[in-house]
């Protein structure tokens, strides 16, 4: 773009110069004075007919004496020889070089004046003569260069667009990658293969052809591949899978060939293909036929990775989050010998990742990374990096020199739910409903045996939620029916609290009901946790390869079984609803106390929340000696003998529960 702008600017400059030259030539060529010889000028001066002579180089402008003061003077032009001196000629003719004012004709005297010549005239004349040829030549040159550029661009379609990193400047190493220790060990062997190939060749081991990094987005696949290149110190080619495919037939395969030719010239080296599923999808599954441009590209990749030429030390590292749609020929040994799985980090991995991103930042002493790692279940490495960055931004916004635990806690809420909606004004009724709703979640979850501990309750609006309740707990890969039932009960705690206090529920628990329904149906149809139907799965999800998501579900059961499934799901939900209602009925005073405190302070978390949940409902809050301020306007629940109020609830997003990746991490509404 810059070269195009420069070329166009140069052309415009040439056109401006041409226009200016033509204008100058026009005005200079407009002199219509009568031309006479310089000898005649001398004779006229000797006769006393000349008033003034103006000298400009070899050009003379002669002004003659007028008969009357009002008459227009006669002006003529002449040109003297290159070696002639007008002053000497006039002096030899007896002409004085100064004419007094008012002197009439017949006096041999003239006013001789010299005009400063810039020398522009000869150059301008030369430019006017050469300019047409110059413009024509420049025009031909531009046309030829444009044609040459188009030709080179057309011929470069088949060239690889991979970016080469020589490894001389190491930016990322294994020390910058945390939370994936097993994956680092697998790739450390690849680095050792590249550094010390003779060590493995002595034992008859061959270098792996390819390593496939598999994991959800944000788990560090690209970062880990850059760390491999930094540790190995070898050339590193980086390219995306989408860069192979163009609208022109054969371009993708040509780029693959060019990429591997460059890699072989720089061997030993690493070729990193990000998002390989763009070209590595299963063949024959496309909507446009079984032999399209994408498949040609894939075929060329298969040949280059394990063809007849197998003696090169080129390792291909590919990353994808959709290994299920890759072609089987791409996954066999000899092409991608190793599959390294990068899953969401566990609690120790999250703590290590937070430590890496917190390095070099001014962190306060009250910041506990272990607490943050427990509160961020389901977070990927990218989420944790964003968390630390958001905390730093919040601290800078508040003009702090260090990042405290308060900023980290708020950053967790921002990453999960979004920024706080300070502009939203809640009515007293809406605030009261939200306080009882979130209080119901917290109390039910606190008194359930198989539920994660409650960490935070707030009625501050964030994102699409009117309030939220967050839990922390240990990561687990296994979930029992008792754990799912407790989760459903805590999810319905907000619904049960609204029914108990106000006599009816609002639209707030809508997300809770959806979550509970999904869990109950999965327990029956996917996980075999139904006593009536037994350990069996029901239904098969179908998906299109190119869409990558479920589009329908095939029913492999009868209508009678469908009715039994609905009955089982309804029974599980009713059981959870009854459990939540029973807990809240037994602890109604504690619910009133918690709702009142939430209406006053809006947010409770950590040990303060646990102290309140374990306190005597009849005791005032805060307890004596506490720093917290007492509630100014506690909620007055309806008397037992009075009819509960019937508020006009508006259909808007309100409190609810949500889980991330099977781990109960938060509740939001």
Residues catalogued as catalytic: 438
Give the C-alpha distances (Å, rounded to integers) separating 102 from 66, 271, 667: 11, 97, 109
Which is nearest to 273 in space by CA: 302, 299, 242? 242
Q: What is the CA radius of gyration of the chain?
A: 44
Give the C-alpha distances (Å, rounded to integers) separating 174 from 42, 239, 336, 479: 98, 21, 22, 34
> Could you tell me how many residues make up the chain?
669
Positions of E strands within 254-373: 269-274, 314-320, 338-341
Tell me how far apart the alpha carbons of residues 491 and 493 are, in angstroms, rounded to a whole number: 5
Which helix (H) or strand (E) segment holds residue 261: the answer is helix 251-265
Q: What are phi and psi of 415, to 5 degrees?
A: -65, -40
Give the C-alpha distances (Å, rounded to integers) separating 640 from 35, 218, 419, 432, 582: 124, 53, 39, 18, 17
What string of H, E and C letters represents the secondary structure of 181-197?
A: HHHHHHHHHHHHHHHCH
Cβ(665)–Cβ(470) under 8 Å? yes
Give the number of other Cβ atoms within 10 Å of residue 557's Cβ.
15
Tell me how far apart the alpha carbons of residues 43 and 399 are, in angstroms, rounded to a whole number: 94
Tell me how far apart the alpha carbons of residues 448 and 486 are, in angstroms, rounded to a whole number: 6
Indicate if the alpha-carbon torsion angle 447, 450, 451, 452 is positive or negative. positive
Cβ(354)–Cβ(384) under 8 Å? yes
Tell me how far apart the alpha carbons of residues 415 and 391 are, in angstroms, rounded to a whole number: 10
Strand-pair partners of 544: none
Q: What letter would DSSP give residue 96? A: B
Output b/e per residue, 581-604; b: 16+ Cβ within 10 A.
bebbeebbebbbbbbbbbbbbbbb
Tell me how far apart the alpha carbons of residues 316 and 269 are, in angstroms, rounded to a whole number: 9
Which helix (H) or strand (E) segment holds residue 7: the answer is helix 2-28
């Amino acid at each position: 773009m810059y070269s195009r702008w420069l070329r166009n600017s140069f052309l415009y400059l040439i056109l401006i110069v041409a226009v200016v030259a033509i204008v100058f030539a026009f005005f200079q060529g407009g002199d219509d004075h009568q031309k006479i010889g310089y000898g005649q000028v001398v004779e006229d001066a000797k006769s006393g007919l000349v008033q003034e002579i103006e000298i400009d180089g070899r050009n003379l402008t002669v002004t003659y004496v007028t008969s009357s003061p009002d008459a227009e003077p006669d002006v003529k032009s002449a040109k003297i020889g290159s070696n002639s001196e007008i002053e000497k000629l006039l002096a030899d003719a007896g002409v004085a070089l100064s004419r007094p004012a008012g002197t009439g004709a017949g006096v041999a005297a003239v006013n001789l004046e010299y005009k400063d010549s810039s020398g522009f005239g000869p150059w301008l004349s030369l430019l006017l003569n050469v300019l047409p040829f110059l413009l024509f030549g420049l025009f031909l040159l531009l046309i030829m260069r444009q044609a040459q550029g188009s030709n080179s661009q057309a011929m470069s379609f088949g060239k690889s667009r991979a970016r080469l990193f020589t490894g001389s400047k190491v930016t990322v190493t294994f020390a910058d990658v945390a939370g994936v220790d097993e994956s680092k060990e697998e790739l450390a062997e690849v680095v050792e293969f590249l550094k010390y190939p003779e060590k493995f060749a002595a034992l008859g081991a061959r270098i792996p052809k390819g390593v496939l990094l598999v994991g959800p987005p944000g788990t560090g696949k690209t970062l880990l591949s850059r760390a491999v290149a930094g540790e190995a110190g070898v050339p590193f080619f980086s390219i995306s899978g989408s860069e192979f495919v163009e609208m022109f037939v054969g371009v993708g395969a040509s780029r693959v060939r060019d990429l591997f030719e460059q890699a072989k010239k720089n061997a030993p080296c690493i070729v990193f293909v990000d998002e390989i599923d763009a070209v590595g999808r299963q063949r024959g599954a496309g909507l446009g036929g079984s032999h399209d441009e994408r498949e040609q590209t894939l075929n060329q990749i298969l040949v280059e990775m394990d063809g007849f030429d197998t003696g090169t030390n080129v390792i291909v590292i590919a990353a994808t989050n959709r290994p299920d749609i890759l072609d089987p020929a791409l996954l066999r040994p000899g092409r991608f010998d190793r599959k390294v799985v990068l899953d969401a980090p566990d609690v120790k991995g999250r703590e290590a990742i937070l430590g890496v991103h917190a390095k070099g930042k001014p962190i306060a002493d009250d910041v506990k990374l272990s607490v943050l790692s427990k509160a961020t279940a389901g977070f990927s490495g990218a989420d944790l990096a964003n968390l630390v960055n958001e905390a730093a931004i919040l601290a800078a916004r508040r003009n702090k020199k260090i990042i405290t635990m308060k900023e980290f806690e708020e950053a967790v809420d921002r990453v999960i739910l979004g920024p706080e909606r300070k502009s939203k004004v809640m009515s007293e009724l809406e605030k009261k409903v939200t306080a009882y709703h979130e209080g119901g979640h917290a109390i039910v979850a606190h008194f359930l045996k198989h539920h994660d501990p409650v960490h935070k309750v707030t009625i501050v609006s964030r994102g699409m939620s009117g309030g939220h309740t967050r839990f922390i707990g240990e990561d687990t890969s296994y979930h029992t029916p008792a754990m799912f039932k407790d989760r459903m009960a805590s999810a319905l705690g907000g619904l049960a609290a609204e029914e108990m206090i106000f006599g009816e529920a609002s639209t707030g628990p809508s997300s809770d009901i959806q979550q509970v329904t999904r869990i109950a149906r999965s327990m029956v149809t996917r996980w075999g946790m139904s006593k009536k139907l037994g350990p069996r799965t029901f239904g098969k999800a179908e998906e299109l390869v190119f869409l990558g998501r479920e589009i329908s579900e095939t029913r492999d059961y009868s209508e009678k079984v469908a009715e039994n499934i609905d009955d089982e799901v309804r029974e599980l939900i009713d059981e959870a609803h009854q459990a939540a209602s029973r807990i809240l009925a037994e602890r109604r005073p504690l619910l009133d106390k918690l709702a009142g405190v939430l209406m006053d302070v809006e947010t409770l978390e950590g040990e303060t929340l646990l102290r309140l949940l374990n306190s005597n409902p009849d005791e005032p809050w805060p307890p004596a000696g506490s720093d917290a301020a007492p509630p100014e306007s506690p909620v007055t629940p309806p008397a037992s003998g009075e009819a509960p109020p019937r508020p006009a609830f508006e259909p808007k997003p309100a409190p609810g529960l949500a889980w991330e990746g099977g781990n109960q991490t938060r509740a939001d509404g």
